[in-house]
Amino acid sequence: MNTKNLVALALLVSSTSFGQTLKEAIQKTDNERFADADTDFRKLIAAEPANGCYQFYFGENFYERGELDSAKVHWTQALKVDQAAPLSYVGAGKTLWINGDAAGAKTQFAKATSMTKNKNAEVLRAIAETYITSETKNLDEAITLLELAIKLDPRNEDGHLLMGDALYLKTPTDGSPAIKSYNKVLEINPKSPRGIVRTAKLYQRAKNFELADQKYKEAQAIDPTYAPAYRENAELYMMFKQSEKAIANWKKYLELNNSTEARFRYATAMFVGKQYCDAITEFENVEKAGLTNFYLERMKAYSLIECTTLADGPTKGIELLNHYFTIVPSDKILYTDYKYKGTAYSKLGQDSLAILELEKASALDSKVAVDLAPEIAKLYMKAKKYDKAIEYYTLKEKSIALTPGEYLDLGKAYFVGPKNYALADSAFAKLNAVSSTYAAGFFWRARSTYQLDNNKTYAAKPYYEKVVELVKVEDRASNSYKAIFVEAAKYLGDYYVTSPAKDPVKAKEYWTMVNTVDPTDKQAKDYLGIK
C-alpha cells in the first residue's frame, strides 16, 4: 500500500490504543502480510464497528492483494457507518473511480478535502494513491495533491514514496526525478525498507543487477518481515534467469505471506523458471485452496506437457487445454495455447492432430507463422507430404534464411516429392554455402547433380569427393556415415573405371575403401577379386 502516515494515524481514530493497533495492521498490509492484517482489522472493527477509518484501511488491505470486490465492500461500508470521517468519502470515491465513474469519484474526493479544508495530508495522499495505482491514472492530479501533502507533512515517508511512484510512471524512461523523491525518504529514515526497495526497483528496471540485488538484501537485513523485499528480489533473479535463487526468495516471501494469491505467484515463478514438474504440484495446491482461473489452467497445462517425468503429461495437458478453451475469452487466446496442444499431440505420435493445432497457432500471427513454419514442415516431412513441407520451408525462407538442417529437408522434399531436381540442387547449394563441413549436404548435392546431369559429364564427382574428404576414417563405418560414405566411394570407384579419366590405381583405392567399410559389398568384392 505504501501510502499511510503511521505517525499521524492516531489523530484519525478515537482511541490511542486502537490507533496503535491500526498502525500495526497497516504496517502488515505494507509488508504484504495480508492474512495477519486481516486478523487485526477484524478485531478493530468488532470493537468499533462504526469507525470508518478501520473499514477504509481494511478495504486497502484487500485492494493491495488484488481483491477489488472485497475492497469495494469495505470502502462502501465505511461511508455507511461513518459520514464524519473524511477517509470514508475517499473510499467511496475510490470505488467510483475504479468503476469508471470519474465525475462521481471526484465529487466524493472533493467532499473529503472540503471537510479537512485541504489541510489533512493523509487524505490528500489517499486520493493521490488512487490516481497512481488504479488502472485508470491521473498522474498530473496526483502530483499536485502530493506537492500540497508534502508541504503539510514534509517528513512523512509516504508522500515522498508516492511522489516517486508518480514521477516514474510519468517518465518511465528517466528514473532521475523518481530517485530524488526516494532519496528524500532515505534522508528522513536511512533504514526505510520501503525507500530502499523503491531504489532497488529503479536499478532493476535499468537492468543493473548488482546494485538492485545489493539494495534488496539491504532491505531484508533491516527488516526481515518486509515481504516485498523478497518478492522483488525473486523477480530480479527471474529477470536474470537465476531460478534457484528466485525460488529461495519466494519461499522466504511465503513464510511471511502464505496466502493463496502468494502461492499462485510462487507457482507462476516456478513455471517461468522452467521447473515444470514442481510447478504442477503448486498449481494443484492453489486449486485445492479455491483459486482457479484460465491463467492457472494455461500454465498448468503447459507444465504437464513440459514435465519429462510424467508419462501421461501430454495426455493430461491436452485434456486440460480442451477445458481451458471452453473458459478462456476469445481475445485472451494465445498462439502458444495451440502450439502447446500441437506439441503434446506430437509427443503422443499423433502428427496429423499436431499439425492442425500448429496451423491454428500460425493463423493468429504472421510472425508466429514464420517461427512455426519449420516445425510444421518437419511434421509434413515425417508424414511424407512433401508439397506441404516445401510450402512451409518456403514461407520461412521468404523472411529469414533456413538453418542447415532446414535446407537439407527442403532439398530432400524437392528431391523425393515432386522430383524437382533443379530446386533440390539449389537448396543443397545454399546448404553447402552455409555449412562447408556438413558431409550430408554434399552427399545430397551429389545426388541432385547426378539427376540433373544424368551422369553425362560426371558433374556429381566433386561433391562425392567432398563426402569422402569430410568423413573421418574412424567414422566411416558408423551408423551416421556408413551409407553416404559407401555410396560416395562406389561412385568414385566406378568413375575411375568407366569415365574417360580411367585410372586403375585410383579405382582400386576407392573400391578398397568400400570393402573396408562393408566387406559384404558384392561390387567391391567383384572388382577386387575377393571371393
The DSSP result for 233-281, as a single string, is: HHHHHHHTT-HHHHHHHHHHHHHH---HHHHHHHHHHHHHTT-HHHHHH
Q: Is residue 526 part of a domain?
A: no
Task: Look at residue 239 in the predicted model and tell me its pLDDT.
Answer: 85
Q: Which of 141, 158, 189 is the last residue of a domain?
A: 189
Please state the rounded mean pLDDT for residues 207-232. 96
Average pLDDT over residues 358-383: 96
DSSP one-letter string for 277-307: HHHHHHHHHHHHTT---HHHHHHHHHHHHH-
Residue 470 confidence (pLDDT) above 50? yes
CB environment 438-451: b (16+ within 10 A), e (fewer): bbbbbbbbbbbbbb
Report the Cα 137 to chain-centroid distance in Å: 26
Which grid cell sits at 402?
533456413
Mean per-residue pLDDT over the chain, rounded: 93
Give the pLDDT confidence of 378-399 residue by residue, as tens digits. 999 999 999 999 999 999 999 9
Structural domain includes residue 499 = no
Mean pLDDT computed over 215-219 = 97
Contact in structure between 249 and 234 (CB atoms under 8 Å): yes
Q: What CA–CA distance (Å, rounded) separates 295 from 205?
A: 25
The model's pLDDT over 339-348, given as tens digits with 9 standing for 90+, comes to 999 999 999 9
Residue 367 scores a pLDDT above 50: yes
Confidence class of residue 193 from pLDDT cuts 50, 70 and 90? Answer: very high
Q: How many domains does the chain have?
A: 2
Of 352, 382, 400, the residue that ends a domain is 400
Of 172, 189, 206, which residue constitutes the final position of a domain?
189
Is 235 within a domain? no
The burial of 207, by beta-carbon neighbours within 10 Å (0-12 exposed, 13-18 middle, 19 or more buried), is given as: exposed
Higher pLDDT, 487 or 36: 487
The sign of the dihedral angle between the CA atoms of 137, 138, 143, 149 is negative
Residue at 364 is within a domain: yes
- Write the Ramachandran bin of 502: left for phi over 0, alpha for psi from -120 to 50, otherwise beta: beta
Residue tagged 475504479 (cell numbers): 98
Q: For position 20, what pLDDT does the model report?
A: 54
Contact 181, 163 (CB under 8 A): yes
Assess if residue 244 is contained within a domain: no
Q: Does the pLDDT value for residue 10 go beyond 70?
A: no
Domain assignment of residue 239, yes or no: no
Nearby residues of 74 by Cβ (< 8 Å), 6 or more positions away: 55, 56, 58, 59, 62, 91
| CA 486 to each of CA 172, 424, 442, 490, 505: distance values in angstroms, whole numbers, following the listed order | 64, 22, 14, 6, 18
Helix (H) or strand (E) holding 353: helix 351-363
- Is the pLDDT at 510 greater than 50? The verdict is yes
CATH of the domain at 171: 1.25.40.10
pLDDT digits (tens, 9 = 90+) for 54-104: 999 999 999 998 889 999 999 999 999 999 999 999 999 999 999 999 999
Tell me: the pLDDT tens digits for 256-312? 988 888 888 889 888 988 889 999 999 999 999 998 899 999 999 999 999 999 999
67, 255, 523 from 232: Cα distances, Å: 20, 15, 72
Domain that residue 49 falls in? 1-189
Nearest to 249 by CA among 274, 224, 271: 224
Asked if residue 295 is part of any domain, the answer here is no
Cα dihedral angle (426, 432, 434, 438), rounded to 10 degrees? 140
In this prediction, residue 249 has a pLDDT band, given cuts at 50, 70 and 90, of very high
Helix axes 121-133, 86-98, angle to 10 degrees: 10
pLDDT tens for each residue of 438-453: 999 999 999 999 999 8
> Does 144 map to a domain?
yes
- CB environment 401-416: b (16+ within 10 A), e (fewer): ebebebbbbbbbbbbe
Angle (nearest 5°) at CA 146 between 61 and 14: 50
Q: What is the pLDDT of residue 6?
A: 36
What confidence tier does 42 reach under pLDDT thresholds 50, 70, 90? Answer: very high
